[in-house]
Amino acid sequence: MATRFLHYGATERGEKGIYVSFAENRADYYNNMIQFDMNMKTLEEKGLFKFLDYPAMTNAGMREATTELLNEVMKFGAKRVVVDSLTAILQVLGQEESRSFIHMVFGKMVKSQGVTTMLIGEIPYGESRIGFGMEEFVADGVIILKQVRTGTAEKRTLDIAKMRGIPVERSVFEYVIDKSYGGIGIIMLPTKAAIGLTSTERLTTGITGFDEMVAGGVYRGSVTLIAGASGTGKTTACLQLLMANAKNGEKTLYLSFEEPVGQVMRTLKNYSLDYEKLSDRFTIESYVPEALTPLHYYTLIRNHVETFKPTILALDTLTAVQRTLSEEDFITFVRYLQLICKERGLTAIVTSASRTMAEATGSGISTLADNIILMRYKEVEKTMTREIVILKTRGTTHERKVRLFEITDRGIVLSAD
């Protein structure tokens, strides 16, 4: 984060910057930053950046280093300075001399020279105090980065504890460390989704006879929830819809949170659905939900959408996601998903392992659905069969009859009556 501050200043504002390190050496620093597309060595060659490396020091050596730093800032004409780390300095100088150092930094370097300075500090595990506790009172701004375990994944949060003279409407944000964001990526969700005009165009479900049950297909831009117990045919219905629309020229994206890509492709082959012929319009990705937080899901889905630019998105199954998140985090995930779909005008298909009508309509998933379809088992004359019923279609009529269906080598086939 601190290096991005210097990199941006040099590349976008032409402001010289200095990174003062009391921990990391020059070679390691350059190698680490190049991974995030920040070539600090090139900026140094252009005269826009300097790296000052101070190895382990004694008390006297630290005082000499701070004097040298002030001289270097004035001579180089730096406008941005990062000191890494304040913790290392405090450990050497002790509390009283550390107080003098901090006042020197802010008094001489910041106030008199107009240098914007970022000090990096480390919070000991299990504590909330920063260093000796005085630094946060002297600084104009305090930004705290935390790593929090949520379920089976780690969530990183950025807390703006203080920012003198700047009104902060919201103080806590979740962020990711990722090359695509240049290091630190803070997702700023809009308070209001920009939703375009609602389409009246309908898309086929790919299931013979089922389009008639939903008055000609699902609306473009709608969200359809397919619920049912394991083995009722949710994935099959989802894949049939995607393949049928891919054949019609739609770009479709299938994200699986339970089955690997190879297994999904085998399923398609079993139903004579030729994935290879449509691979340019049908993309399959598979992920392990235990490793992801709501923000990770949001960035992952958004990145896929921006890269592949699908018109239809399928997530199978959201129950796998729900099992790894707290109730609060799952609601956040649902909101993120709804935001992506509505802003991009995506037609979305999501599946859930709800087994009953009450579970399907009462789950957190149903809040984002325009259409809810329930698939379930039924025993008929000592034979186990399957049936399908439409519980909801927003903004249109639908057939209320319960229909039996079979899963054949052509996928789902509804009974004649």
Residue 173, SS3 per DSSP: strand
Task: Supply the pLDDT for residue 368.
Answer: 75
Q: Peptide bond before 352: cis, by omega within 30 degrees of 0?
A: no
Express each pLDDT in 87-113 by its tens digit: 777 777 777 777 777 776 666 666 677
| Cβ contacts of 342 within 8 Å, gap of 6 or more | 193, 195, 221
Residue 147, SS3 per DSSP: strand
CA torsion angle for 275, 280, 284, 285 (degrees, to 10)?
150
Domain boundary among the residues 119, 139, 159 is at 139
Strand blocks (E) in 319-399 = 347-352, 371-380, 383-393
Confidence of residue 130 (pLDDT cuts 50, 70, 90): low
Express each pLDDT in 347-388 by its tens digit: 999 998 887 777 766 666 777 788 999 999 988 777 889 999
pTM for this model (two decimals): 0.70
Given a contact cutoff of 8 angstroms between Cβ atoms, the answer to whether 234 and 388 are in contact is no
d(CA 417, CA 409): 21
Residue 153 lies in a domain: no
Does the structure show a pLDDT above 60 at 192? no
Confidence of residue 151 (pLDDT cuts 50, 70, 90): low
Residues 228 and 135 in one domain: no
Residue 216 lies in a domain: yes
Residues 111 and 259 in one domain: no
Q: How many domains does the chain have?
A: 2
Domain boundary among the residues 97, 112, 139 is at 139
Residue 186 lies in a domain: no
Residue 381 lies in a domain: yes
Highest mean pLDDT among 48-52, 68-72, 187-191: 48-52
d(CA 26, CA 98): 25
Residues 383 and 300 in one domain: yes
Residue 314 lies in a domain: yes
Residues 244 and 317 in one domain: yes
d(CA 109, CA 93): 19
Does the structure show a pLDDT above 70 at 74? yes
Residue 31 lies in a domain: yes
The parent domain of residue 73 ranges over 2-139
More confident residue, 81 or 102: 81
Residues 208 and 109 in one domain: no
Domain harbouring 6, CATH code:
3.40.50.300
Residues 111 and 240 in one domain: no
Residue 2, SS3 per DSSP: helix
Considering Cα of 242, then 246, then 248, then 249, what sign does the dihedral take? Answer: positive
Q: Angle 10-13-18 (CA atoms, 0-180°, nearest 5)?
A: 35
Residue 185 lies in a domain: no
In this structure, which amino acid lies at residue 94? G
d(CA 300, CA 322): 17
Pull the structure tokens for residue 164.
Answer: 């003198």
More confident residue, 154 or 34: 34
Residue whose entry in the numeric block shows the structure tokens 């479709």: 252
Express each pLDDT in 201-218 by its tens digit: 999 999 988 988 988 899
Given a contact cutoff of 8 angstroms between Cβ atoms, the answer to whether 243 and 206 are in contact is yes
Task: Supply the pLDDT for residue 39.
Answer: 95
Residues 117 and 207 in one domain: no
CA torsion angle for 2, 5, 6, 7 (degrees, to 10)?
110
Residue 255 lies in a domain: yes
Residues 135 and 209 in one domain: no
Residues 265 and 401 in one domain: yes
Domain boundary among the residues 139, 156, 179 is at 139
Task: Supply the pLDDT for residue 251.
Answer: 95
Residues 115 and 210 in one domain: no
CA 158 to the chain's CA centroid: 14
Q: How far are the Cα atoms of 10, 80, 415 from residue 260, in angstroms, in the given order?
A: 44, 48, 31
Residues 245 and 109 in one domain: no
Residues 213 and 104 in one domain: no
Task: Supply the pLDDT for residue 8.
Answer: 95
